[in-house]
Amino acid sequence: MLTRPSTPAGRTELRIFLALYTLSLPFQLITTGFFLQQGSTPLVVLTGIHAALFWSLPANGTVATPVVEDCSASSIIPFTAIPAVFFAATAYIALDTGMHFTHVFVPSSPLNELKSIPVFVLTSIWPAAIGSAAAIYFVLIAYIVLGVLVLSGVLFVLSQLDCFLLIA
């Protein structure tokens, strides 16, 4: 007797992705808006968390490829481990830059004019590079899917035509 998987293909990954994305939206609103004073401790903490939450997005794109089976350990472990590692590293860099825990990432300017190259790269440059990779991934998947659909449509029309000509 065959056993059915507990969740349909990709549902677990999509649920985790949507939950993390929904969690990141308020952080984006607060950190990019004028709600908190520039250089304040809450802004530093929320920016670190917001930057760290970004890493769930490329991890989902990686797991969405058909290389690994959906809802298996080989899919869920990288989907949670990759963002967890990058979350810890990004949050550490952002919080250490703003709060000087270890004085490793000491900014060259006061907190009200905070300029940090590592935080800038993690929050602006690297997401743009991943975003272009996501766009390339989207175009590739769209090409594959549309190619399969067009081929299926052509074969369907030919089979209907064949059936019509044989019956008539």
* 107 — pLDDT class (breaks 50, 70, 90): low
Domain ranges of the chain: 9-167
Residues 6 or more apart in contact with residue 137 via CB below 8 angstroms: 61, 65
Highest mean pLDDT: which range of 16-20, 72-76, 125-129, 149-153: 149-153
Region 43-64: mean pLDDT is: 73
114 vs 51: CA distance, rounded Å: 16
Burial label for 44, CB within 10 Å (0-12, 13-18, 19+), is buried
pLDDT beyond 50 at 1: no
Its pTM stands at: 0.55
Task: Find out whether 98 and 82 touch, Cβ atoms under 8 Å.
Answer: no
Half-sphere exposure at residue 60, Cβ-oriented, CA atoms within 13 angstroms: 20
**What value does the mean pLDDT take over residues 38-62?**
74
Give the pLDDT band of residue 132 (cuts 50, 70, 90): low
Kindly write down the DSSP assignment for every residue of 119-154, as one continuous string. Answer: HHIIIIIHHHHHHHHHHHHHHHHHHHHHHHHHHHHH
Query: Which amino acid, residue 78?
Result: P
